[in-house]
Amino acid sequence: MRPINRIALGRAASSWLARQQAALDRDHALSAVHHWSARRQTMATNGVVFALRSMAGIRNRCMYCGDSEACDIEHFRPKGKPEWRANVFDWGNFLWICQPCNRLKNSVFPVMDDGWPMMLDPAIDRIWDFFDFSPETGYLVPISEVGTIAYMRAAATVSEGNSRLSYEVILGERQRAYRNLKRSAQIFFSSEQLEEDVEGFIQATLDSGYPELVEWAYSLRGREIHPFSSLSNDAIFVERLRSAMNNAYPGVW
Ligand SMILES: [Zn+2]
């Protein structure tokens, strides 16, 4: 679950969505799921999917798990539930996710007593405001005090029944990405740190797998770990890395 920036949708696509939503609002007998399915294809060409893909960044990975390739529009607030009917064609409710996450998410969407979603929304909630990363296990570990709303939301988001974020395969991939990050940092640290070394380092870091881990490594707890600790002391270097990451994955850091 990496942070993403929601971009503004073009005017034509926005008004198309508004028209579809108005049809649902007008006719209460109209099935939201059917109305959506009948119009899903149009979104491949009218700018909606294009906007979501550009939000997803260079590797087109799922906005939830970050692991598999994204291929489908996800309704953060489920389209099949009557209480979210007003959000079926709501741009702010769309994410771009993979098939396994979509299958899982279809059935679950816990809410708090006041109706606010328990699940964290990658377009609104920033991963490192809620979690720490454990290099030893690959888990995302909630950082807030037990019993707080922030803790409950974080715990719900990584719960195995609600998302794939704690699945064994994803823990393994997250750890692999961490090792890749560490390796590229080590290679750069031991190099002469010439311009070509910086470029190679940035490319390797971009390729490391889970881009959200780069912020963790260079500006959060990873700074306690060598070689991130030494490299992160150079503010200009860190800013250059941050800028490259955000170019590739808008809003990630
Ligand atoms: Zn996914």
70, 105, 140 - which closes a domain: 105
Residue 151 has pLDDT above 80, yes or no: yes
Residue 253 has pLDDT above 90, yes or no: yes
Backbone angles phi, psi at 12, to 5 degrees: -65, -45
Report pLDDT digits (tens) over 87-144.
999 999 999 999 999 888 766 788 998 889 999 999 999 999 999 999 999 999 999 9
Report pLDDT digits (tens) over 220-246.
999 999 999 999 999 999 999 999 999
Range of the domain at 230: 168-248
Quote the CA–CA distance of 252 and 248 in Å, as a whole number.
Answer: 9
In a domain, 122, yes or no: no
In a domain, 139, yes or no: no
Co-location of 100 and 180 in the same domain = no
Ligand 1 center from residue 66 Cα (angstroms):
6
Residues near ligand 1 ion, CB 5 Å cutoff: 62, 64-65, 68, 98, 101
54, 71, 105 - which closes a domain: 105
- Euclidean distance between the first and the last CA atom of the chain, given in angstroms as a whole number: 12
In a domain, 238, yes or no: yes
| Angle formed by the axes of helices 168-190 and 212-219, nearest 10° | 50
Task: Quote the pLDDT of residue 45.
Answer: 85
Co-location of 175 and 99 in the same domain = no
In a domain, 118, yes or no: no
Co-location of 177 and 99 in the same domain = no
Ligand 1 center from residue 102 Cα (angstroms):
7
In a domain, 202, yes or no: yes
State mean pLDDT over 207-215. Answer: 94
State mean pLDDT over 66-72. Answer: 93
Ligand 1 center from residue 196 Cα (angstroms):
34
Task: Quote the pLDDT of residue 106.
Answer: 67
Predicted TM-score (pTM) of this structure:
0.93
Ligand 1 center from residue 217 Cα (angstroms):
23
Co-location of 20 and 101 in the same domain = yes
What total number of domains does the chain contain?
A: 2
- Low-confidence winner among 81-85, 128-132, 211-215 (lowest mean pLDDT): 81-85
Ligand 1 center from residue 228 Cα (angstroms):
28
Task: Quote the pLDDT of residue 44.
Answer: 83
80, 105, 130 - which closes a domain: 105
In a domain, 89, yes or no: yes
Residue 251 has pLDDT above 80, yes or no: yes
Q: Do the Cβ atoms of 182 and 18 come closer than 8 Å?
A: no
In a domain, 1, yes or no: no
CA atoms within 13 A on the CB side of 176: 9
